Amino acid sequence: MVIFKQEKELKEYLDKASEKIGFIPTMGALHRGHTSLIHQAKDDGLMTVCSIFVNPTQFNDPEDFKKYPVSVEADIELLVEANCDVLFLPDVPTVYPNGTEAAVAYDFGDLENILEGAHRPGHFRGVGQVVARLIELVNPAFLYLGQKDYQQCMIIGKLIELMGNECKVRLRVCPTVREEDGLAMSSRNRRLSEAQRSLSAMIYQCLISIEAKEGIAPFSLVEKECIELLERKGFRPEYVALADAETLKPLSDYDSSHKMVALIAAWIGKIRLIDNLVLQQVSSTS
Ligand code: AMP
């Protein structure tokens, strides 16, 4: 694996390469969720470029930014094991040569103000800024993202549309990789205490119960049960939501005419966890 920190060297190297590029943008503190994206891109026969950059403009909470785990050496080991071809490790001036304020902010409409956007104001503007710039730097054919960040995948889909003809990248959304008990892998999980870690699978259990109760109970009741259960276990849930999986428009109740996704965000102590599950479509029996 070759490592670049500067734009010029990265571009020179990538310009000479003949293969199409599969790009995996990350913020580091890598785990099997991240490496699953590398494996998918490799299986798709692409040259894999992974970036590690903790983007300051997407953190609405300065404390979260300060505490974001950094483990570059271990990350490099994981990437080498995963057969990643190129690691791009830029600093802030490389990503934002004219300063963070000057970076183009795309307008994602309602999509940036609901769910995650409602609770993390400005977050998706920051995500849009960094991904647009990284796409410009890497010029990939395919971008690999994890379903774990469902709304982010939709924002980036919209970003590609908004970037128009200058951006020919295609999106590949890969399944969420989970721990054995169902907890979605996340860099933030490293900050969980043992006690918090053992409770954290509750979020996935709630998602499963939302799926299981379709046709059995109204969503408003299921939502209430999930919130109460999470609170009883010591979480501070921000939302337990059901939405149209294609548009992310909130649904007040199950509606089998839509493909649906259930989404949860909840704090445990000072750590905010998110997860989601696309509901299996119930087959209609006639
Ligand atoms: P992050 O480093 O958290 O910004 O994540 C970088 C990429 O890895 C994003 O596309 C995430 O959605 C994806 N990712 C993070 N966790 C997982 C997971 N558990 N399973 C699959 N993809 C993931």
pLDDT in tens, 39-89: 999 999 999 999 999 999 999 899 999 999 999 999 999 999 999 999 999
37 Cα–ligand 1 center, Å:
8
Q: What is the pLDDT of residue 72?
A: 98
Please identify which of the residues 34, 39, 119, 258 carries the catalytic annotation: 34
258 catalytic? Reply is no
> Token pair of 277, please?
């599950």
For residue 243, which of 117, 125, 158 has the smallest C-alpha distance? 117
Question: Which residues in the chain come in under a pLDDT of 50?
Answer: 286
From the CA of 37, give the closest atom in ligand 1.
22
Half-sphere exposure in the Cβ direction for 113 (13 Å, CA): 4
pTM of structure: 0.96
For residue 24, which of 51, 64, 54 has the smallest C-alpha distance? 51
pLDDT in tens, 126-146: 999 999 999 999 999 999 999
The residue whose CA is least distant from atom 22 of ligand 1 is: 146
Give the 3-state secondary structure of residue 56: helix
Are 266 and 233 within 8 A, CB to CB?
Answer: no
For residue 25, which of 136, 114, 100 has the smallest C-alpha distance? 136
Residue entry with tokens 């990789």: 177
149 Cα–ligand 1 center, Å:
7
Q: What is the pLDDT of residue 283?
A: 63
Task: For residue 117, count other CB atoms closer than 10 A to its CB.
Answer: 20
Burial tier of 38 (Cβ tally within 10 Å: 0-12, 13-18, 19+)? buried
CA 102 distance to own-chain centroid: 24
The residue whose CA is least distant from atom 12 of ligand 1 is: 146
Adjacent-strand bridge partners of 146: 174
58 Cα–ligand 1 center, Å:
15
Pocket-forming residues, ligand 1, beta carbon under 6 Å: 26-27, 33-34, 36-37, 145-146, 148-149, 174, 176-177, 184-187
In angstroms, the Cα distances linking 269 to 76, 91, 182, 183 are 30, 30, 20, 16
Q: Side chain identity at 122, as an amino acid letter? A: G
28 Cα–ligand 1 center, Å:
10
285 Cα–ligand 1 center, Å:
37
From the CA of 175, give the closest atom in ligand 1.
21
Rounded Cα distance between 236 and 76, Å, is 35
Q: What is the pLDDT of residue 284?
A: 54
The residue whose CA is least distant from atom 17 of ligand 1 is: 33
Are 214 and 282 within 8 A, CB to CB?
Answer: yes
